[in-house]
């Protein structure tokens, strides 16, 4: 699976549980960072925006933000209390034909190791 993206600045919407941290690890006492997460985040250009998504309730905001800081996860915003079902992204196609939305599904708790290699910047 290779995703071809433009060199334009991007918005990254990334789930927390099962993608950044082991799924429901906070319920076992500690959020454990999954493999490749810091490398993946480091490969995201500074000009891009990273928005983390989670079904965790507002009551877990402080513990979640503390865990993200403790592990050194870079982000701009975290959206809490989202539904546990699918996340649908709808965006317009630019007049040039550039698709402005992509979705990547990974298996739970495998981490992000090697995923950045599957995202290729193309000329526009």
CA proximity to 78, closest of 10, 25, 18, 13: 13
CA proximity to 34, closest of 54, 53, 51, 17: 17
More confident residue, 25 or 87: 87
The mean pLDDT value for 77-86 works out to 97
Quote the percentage of the chain above a pLDDT of 90: 78
pLDDT of residue 122: 76
On the question of pLDDT at 124 being above 70, the answer is: no
Domain regions of the chain by residue span: 3-121
Topology of the domain comprising 3-121: Rossmann fold (3.40.50)
pTM, entire model = 0.92
């Amino acid at each position: 699976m290779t995703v071809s993206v433009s060199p334009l600045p991007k918005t990254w919407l990334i789930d927390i549980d099962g993608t950044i941290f082991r799924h429901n690890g906070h319920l076992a006492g500690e959020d454990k960072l999954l493999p490749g997460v810091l490398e993946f985040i480091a490969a995201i250009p500074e000009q891009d925006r990273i928005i983390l998504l989670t079904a965790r309730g507002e009551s877990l905001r402080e513990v979640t933000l503390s865990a993200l800081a403790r592990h050194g996860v870079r982000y701009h915003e975290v959206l809490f209390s989202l539904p546990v079902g699918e996340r649908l992204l709808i965006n317009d196609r630019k007049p040039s034909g550039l698709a402005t939305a992509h979705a990547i599904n990974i298996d739970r708790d495998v981490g992000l190791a090697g995923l950045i290699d599957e995202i290729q910047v193309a000329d526009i």
